[in-house]
Amino acid sequence: MAKVEIKIGYVAEWSDKSARVLVLKTKDEQITFPVIIAENEAFSLVKELEKVTLKRPQTHDLLFSIMNSFNLKVRYAHIYNLVEGIFYTRINCTNDVQEVDVESRISDAAILTLKYNCPLFIEDFILEQVGLVTKREEEDTEKEDDLSLKTMQELQTLLKEAVEDENYEYASILRDEINKKSKQ
């Protein structure tokens, strides 16, 4: 068994709009896998991915604030098992003196890894069971090419609309294009 580092791809709507899906990817983006998550966690993930600050703290913001107040840091999160369709995840925390693993849902662990800018891992045997080899569709490439012609202001307007419409998959594509343009 070996740990494989993964990253957060995007949050999307389930096909019948009854749930949200967190799409995780390997660092090389060759393998993806979906995880069904709750609406609140989907909102928190998108908020972190888009670096949106709200006027009042959400649950994960509160937890982050409490942890920082007590000098607790998240070092990494680890999806270590899959039993009957349920992912088992631990968050590795430290206070620079003691280290502890805390059981968690994937969505909560993902949010905290974003807040602490630390890695998220999955066991390779789980990835072999749930991973999907990704194929880049021509359609996606065309959509991204069209976005490359847009100005930063147009992209930011489209991003705001996509988030408001809860079209998180398109929002993640827009975010990536904005990040690309801001580095130029």
Residue 134 has a pLDDT of 75
What's the whole-number average pLDDT of the chain? 87
List the single range of 3-7, 26-30, 87-91 with lowest mean pLDDT: 26-30
Based on the domain organization, do 14 and 79 belong to the same domain? Answer: yes
- Per-residue confidence (pLDDT) for residue 12, from 0 to 100: 87
Q: Give per-residue pLDDT as tens, 98-140.
A: 999 999 999 999 999 999 999 999 999 999 999 888 765 434 4
Question: Same structural domain for residues 94 and 125?
Answer: yes
106 and 157 together in one domain: no
Across residues 43-47, what is the average pLDDT? 91
| Pair of tokens at residue 118 | 């630390």
Burial of 54 (0-12, 13-18, 19+ CB in 10 A): exposed
Q: Around Cβ 178, how many Cβ atoms within 10 Å?
A: 18
pLDDT band at residue 145, thresholds of 50, 70 and 90? low
Classify strands 73-83 and 3-13 as parallel, antiparallel or unpaired.
unpaired
74 lies in the same domain as 123:
yes
Same domain for 83 and 174?
Answer: no
Range of the domain at 82: 3-135
In one-letter notation, the amino acid at residue 77 is A
User: Of the residues 135, 151, 168, which one is the last residue of a structural domain?
Assistant: 135
pTM value is 0.70
Q: What is the DSSP string of 123-170?
A: EHHHHHHH-EE----HHHHHHHHHHHTS-HHHHHHHHHHHHHTT-HHH
The proportion of the chain whose per-residue pLDDT surpasses 70, expressed as a percent, equals 93
Tokens of 14: 């389930």
Scanning 4-119, the segments in alpha helix (DSSP H) are 39-49, 59-69, 106-116
pLDDT class of 171 with cuts at 50, 70, 90: confident
User: How far, in Å, CA of 170 to CA of 184, rounded?
Assistant: 22
